[in-house]
Structure formats: C-alpha cells, structure tokens
Amino acid sequence: MKFPDSTYFNRKLPKQRFYENLTISAATKKSFVDQIKSIYWENKISADTINIAAENKVTEIEIFRINLNQDTIDESVLRLLDKGIPYPIIFILQYNGKSKLCVAYKEISSTGECHIVSQYYHTEWDLESNIELEISGLSIESVYHGFIRQIAGDRISENSSNIKYDIEISKQKDKLVIEIERAEKMAWKEKQPKKKFELADRIKKLKRQLESLEHQKIGG
C-alpha cells in the first residue's frame, strides 16, 4: 500500500510504551506481548504532510504497521493501542506474507481524550499489493471517514454525511437481522401452535423495525 512520500514517518515503537504506565489486566498484557512482534509508526497524514486542511478535531491520521506472531489479534490489544495515541489510527496488520487493514471509528475530545465508538472493521487477508486506500476529501477528517468506509465496506450500509450516525444505524440493522434469523429458526422448529404464533408475531415486529430503519433519515 502506497501513501505519498511526504507522509512517510517509519519510526519503530517499543511495545512496552503502550502498557507500562497503564492499569490493564494481566490477560490483555499477555495478549499484547504474545500476539505482537513489532510496531512501526509508518505514516502521518496531516496538513503538514499532504495539501489538505486540518479542520474540526481530526488533525492527523496515523498509519501503524503491526507485525503479528499469529493471524489474529484481540480487540482489547487494538483498543490499547488506540487509547495510547490521541489521533485516529489505521492499522496495517501483517502475518506470514499477507496483510489486512483494520480501523475503528474514534472520536477525539477537545482535551485530547480518545473515545472508540465502534467495533473494529477490517479487510480480508491478502497480498499487500492488492490492498489500497484512497486519500479523498477536503479535510483530514473527511479523509479519515473515507478510510473507515473503504475498510468497512458494506458493514456500514448507510451513506450520509454523518459517519457516527451511519455506524449506529448499521449496527442496529445488523442486530435486527440477527434477531430475525434467530426467531425464524425457532419458529421453524416450534411445534406448539401458540408459541409458533407468538414467534411469527415477533418476527413481524422485528421486520417492521428494520423497515423503519431502512427509511430513517437524520433528524427523524
């Protein structure tokens, strides 16, 4: 994956920097040490490194390359990394000659505190030459939101100007789809007419909720 040369940073970060001064569980620390081989701060995308304005609260985007000892990484480990850096981070995960991109939507307060407001989205493992991120937008914030949408793909089903809203609605829709599928399986197996009717009624209500979300707009 190629970013402009002006964004190249390439600084190796010691792993212990992210946990030595924090109160974390022994399990998270063990996962961090066992799963991560090395961490490189590879790129910094900001108004100083590309010709795009730093507006609102997002002034920089960091690109971290994480070399792994296995093909999985716990979300608690990624959250520890995200909480340790007061800027949005795009993770390039590497293992056994392949790479994947990973990101969570992260808000930065005016005091520099990090608040992760979504689950982590990721691409599939692939050769890095097949993985691309397009820098597109009129501000660093819009570039960041574009990165999230590219990595998440159809997991963010909405496409308004408010990515936080889109993520929340998409999460609600995913939850309803799972509940409908579970209720339909239960209804198919149920033998008692009364319980079968109750499940059918629940499925109808869930589908109405899903339809309502499909037509919902910002502002109600």
What CA–CA distance (Å, rounded) separates 1 from 64? 12
Query: Full-prediction pTM beyond 0.75?
Result: yes
Domain count, the chain: 2
- 219 falls within a domain: no
What CA–CA distance (Å, rounded) separates 137 from 48? 16
Q: CB count, 10 Å around CB of 196?
A: 15
Q: Which two tokens stand for residue 191?
A: 């033998």
Alpha-carbon torsion (137, 143, 149, 151), positive or negative: positive
pLDDT at 100: 97
What tens digit of pLDDT does each residue of 88-132 get? Answer: 999 999 999 999 999 999 987 777 777 888 889 999 999 988 999
pLDDT at 210: 87
pLDDT at 217: 57
Mean pLDDT (the chain) is: 90
- Per DSSP, what are the bridge partners of residue 122? 102
Quick one: 111 and 32 in the same domain? yes
Quick one: 126 and 198 in the same domain? no
pLDDT > 50? residue 219? no
Quick one: 146 and 203 in the same domain? no
What tens digit of pLDDT does each residue of 4-52 get? Answer: 999 999 999 998 888 887 778 899 999 999 999 999 999 999 999 998 8
Quick one: 179 and 148 in the same domain? no
Mean pLDDT of 60-67: 96
